[in-house]
Structure 1
Amino acid sequence: MTDHPRPDDPVQLPETAASRSAVGRAATWVVWALFVLSLAAVALSVRTGAEWSLAGYLVVDGLTVVVWTVVTFFSGVVHSFSRRYMAGDSRVDQFFARTFAFTLAVGVAAAADHVALFAAAWLAMGLAIASLIGHVRGWEQAQAAGALARRYFVAGSALLAGALAVLAWTTGTTSIAGIVAQVGSPSGVTWLAVGGLFLAAMVQSALFPFHNWLLSSMTAPTPASALMHAGFVNAGGILLARFAPVFADATAAMSLLVVVGAASALLGQALLLVQTDVKRELGASTVAQMGFMILQCGLGFFAAAVTHLVLHGFYKAYLFLSSGATVEQTAPEKSAGGDSGAFELAVGLAAALAGGALFVAITGKGAELDSGLFLAFVVILTVLHAARNVLDRSQLPSRLELAVLPLLVVVPVAVYGFLYNAFSALLAGVPATTAPTELTAVHVAVAALFAGAYLAVELGWHRSSKRLYVALLNLSQPAPETVLTAKEDYDDA
């Protein structure tokens, strides 16, 4: 009897050889060498606590070495991954050149102390990413997506340049270190600079209503998407952390950061619920995560925002690079646990409170009546959501669930708390990276909104409104000119 393959048998594709591009090979080695040097810079920073500078032009402090280390690591992974992924691409040399150029631009922006150098590096980052989004020259939709992103980034860079010019004019110095040392509570024309910095961060991090460029960027090669979501969008948080003193003394500005961050976090999470495309689902998730990052800045915990963007970078880079393995045919399986909803809710609440208490004990945030209390509330709500997801998907008996749940939910909180402390110590020399604010009515209102949104999802209210579904679907649509709408177009691409 002959062994004939069946239609549903898995097909083993031939192995693809790594690209022989000399540019790709050289860029990969150089980026990994830069990563090693970045680790050495971190070690020296921890050991000596000193910073290095070229007066008025470059400064290497705790924030700089963190950004260098994280970005070179992600870039090294993307370069190595792309050696095989991009093999056979007719423009593989250009891809590696632009990816390497982006890495250098981020490194320069992280260390720049002169406002002109910082603005130029910021623009270079955007242009490099826009070029990667439109990498496929013969694909009209890719060119349209690249052009759309380029318009956003040029506009954001113009806002940033204007804000930096105002700050330089009002303080009489072109040094970023000098600006943040002299600037006080915003007044008069300085508010224009605050607005420009804030809008530039919103555009870069794809916060609502500037999220469309990110959701339209799915024409980028997957490695470029990984670098974009793991590194590029995080630059909004880095910008706010670098200029933290400009915002920290302005209650109105900090409250606005909280409101905008919370709105983008909730909207991104809502958009995620209606997605069927894997990469667009990841894009909506990034909008939500960037909202949380900006929210943490608004609470005055810029070090927490840096911690968040590092962890989000690792998570999102992995998801994008492994996105091809997530498409599978499955049938829903009924949980074998058979536990009641009341039991799961009680266990989830216990895990959430334990996680919140552990976060407060490790970091000290939430122990006083300030914005740290709101941060602890967000941790509790996040742990509750994670615990409920674990319990819903678990097929273990109740007793085993109680034993395993702390390891799956509470332990990550401990890891996050210790990492937060570590980054706070590393950023100790950076002005205002921890500047908690007083609790206001804005914090209470946003906390109530978060709790209400969680209950709405938990009770399934979001599924009962067709109008809400259509509204979210429309908000999550990329620009029409960037979408392939006909099967023939896919076949030709």
Structure 2
Amino acid sequence: MTGDKQVTTVGQAPTPTSEESRVPAVSTRLVWLLWVGSIGALAAKLWVGGTWDLAGLAVVDGLTLVMWVAVTFFSGIVHSYSRRYLDGTRTIDQFFARVFGFTLVVMVLVAADNFVLFGAAWLLMGLVMADLIGHVRGWPQAQAAAALARRYFLLSSAFLAVALGTLWWSTGTTAVSGLASTVETAPPNAVLVAAGALLLAAMVQSALVPFHTWLLSSMTAPTPASALMHAGFVNAGGILLARFAPVVTVDAGFMLVVVLAGATSALSGKILKTIQPDIKAKLGCSTVGQMGFMIMQAGLGFFGAAVTHLILHGFYKAYQFLAAGSQVAHESPTKAKSTASTGPIGIAVVVGTALAGGLLFATLTGKGTKLDSGLLLTFLVVLTVLHAARAVVSEDSLPATVRYGAVPLVALPAIAVYGVVYRAIEGLLAGTPMAGQSAELTVAHALVAVAFLAVYLAIESGVHEKSHRLYVLLMNAAQPPSQTQLTATEDYNEY
């Protein structure tokens, strides 16, 4: 390769020929300063209370400050990680400019009170993320993925524009904060149209089924961009529903629609994840499921739980993507690992931990202590703990005593942390329209619980692996468009 002057997009880092750019260092320091400032603003809010507003353009309340702290923290991690990850690439300045610009746009979005400002920030956020997906200009697959994502994000902005226009026409207000006092007197049909458009906009942006294709096609994005996407961008759907809670909660029947939309995506993401052979694709399907669960929580009336979920999911998924490379095994294929027999003691430990986890969750959050939709949320917590606990108990690489002891020692403190964070965020949201009330328990909620239980049993029994037809069907459903896939090594690694 000596003397080869061909310009490559991926491969050996080029030898610097000019002074090192200051853009990565400066933007990294700035975003960490924004994080420190956000923490200071949150502390001031806790100290003096109240809500700060700016002439009908922006409102700085509990949700704004919580999201500012979370967004700037995730962005700071991505900035710091990317300085080494992209070191030596010719497009490093453009990448950092986009990531820093994305951070500022999201900060504007979560504070925006004016309809026009909110819609503009929503649109710009999607366009910047599409550019990050197509960051590598030399890959036709990356450009195809960016174009696909851009079309989806424009569709989401169109749905949002319909919702905002309908709300302005039916309520006469152009401020998000003004909806709480005007939406109940607006024409019911107009409010339902606006609510439906808001739900569709949230589903597209959060990659819920059937709009999940753009997310599964985005694997050409640099890993730090994927981390920012899965830890922050997809959470926008939950923020949208929380901000417009007075509209979404105006009709109990529509709330059931939100629950069903979220549950469908949560179950689909879980099923599709089980058949994915690729690490990043598994994480993508996991995000589809997790975002479905977030939307489902909003449909149950627990907007505080939805915000808590999106923040904790952001921490988890950012770490998972940034550490994805360490999951690649450089070894020859071997036979599938065997799993240990659960046995009577293991079953007792798993079931006991799941029930104790549900009880602890109900005690700390107050959900599941009454005959309302909180029972469904608590049941799903029990099912989640049951699944995780069984996976640990079945791991035959650990001694039985370690497996049995680790399950409650890990699961119960994790639920306790969730309960504490939830209570803190619920306190910050107190007094806002998004605080909301839990929905009444219905037959539809019971059917959702049955569906989750059925999917859990099907996955545990390996039904999808026993049926070749079902396995192929699931594989096809999880495949992004072929033009967005990197299938040959020479397409992305010329060395």
Aligned equivalents of 1:327, 1:176: Cα separation in 2: 46
Q: How does 1:82-481 map to 2 (within 5 A)?
A: 82-184=82-184, 187-328=188-329, 329=331, 340-393=342-395, 395-481=397-483
Aligned equivalents of 1:400, 1:199: Cα separation in 2: 46
Contact 1:61 1:429 in 2 (8 A): no
Change (3 A) 1:340 1:376: closer
With 208-217 and 358-367 compared, the bigger mean Cα shift is at: 358-367
Contact 1:74 1:317 in 2 (8 A): yes
Structure 1 partner of 2:80: 80
- Summarize deviations over 1:370-423 as a string: whole Å, max 9, x none: 001111101110111111111112544444444332111111111111111111
Aligned equivalents of 1:278, 1:244: Cα separation in 2: 35
Contact 2:98 2:132 in 1 (8 A): yes
Aligned equivalents of 2:48, 2:408: Cα separation in 1: 37
- Summarize deviations over 1:110-145 as a string: whole Å, max 9, x none: 000000000000011000000000111121111111
- Summarize deviations over 1:440-464 as a string: whole Å, max 9, x none: 1110000000011111111222211
RMSD over aligned Cα atoms: 1.9
Structure 2 partner of 1:10: none
Return 5+ residue gaps in structure 2 as ranges: 1-11
Structure 1 partner of 2:4: none
Aligned equivalents of 1:416, 1:98: Cα separation in 2: 32
Aligned equivalents of 1:72, 1:487: Cα separation in 2: 35
Aligned equivalents of 2:399, 2:75: Cα separation in 1: 43
Contact 2:338 2:396 in 1 (8 A): no
Aligned equivalents of 2:462, 2:279: Cα separation in 1: 22
Change (3 A) 1:334 1:428: same
Contact 1:248 1:432 in 2 (8 A): no
- What letter is aligned with 1:421? R
Aligned equivalents of 2:69, 2:382: Cα separation in 1: 30
- What letter is aligned with 1:214? L
Corresponding residue SS for 1:53: strand
Aligned equivalents of 1:485, 1:83: Cα separation in 2: 28
Contact 2:271 2:459 in 1 (8 A): no
- What letter is aligned with 1:274? I
Change (3 A) 1:203 1:307: same
- The percent of aligned pairs where both chains have the same amino acid is 56
- What letter is aligned with 1:130? A
Q: Aligned-pair distance for 1:96?
A: 0.7
Corresponding residue SS for 1:283: helix
Structure 2 partner of 1:6: none
Aligned equivalents of 1:339, 1:393: Cα separation in 2: 9
Contact 1:63 1:430 in 2 (8 A): no
How many equivalent residue pairs?
Answer: 477
Q: Aligned-pair distance for 1:333?
A: 5.4
Aligned equivalents of 2:47, 2:439: Cα separation in 1: 31
Aligned equivalents of 1:38, 1:174: Cα separation in 2: 27
Q: Aligned-pair distance for 1:492?
A: 4.3
- Summarize deviations over 1:322-354 as a string: whole Å, max 9, x none: 11111013755556xx65434322221110000
Q: Aligned-pair distance for 1:266?
A: 0.8
Structure 1 stretches (4+) deviating beyond 6 angstroms? Answer: none
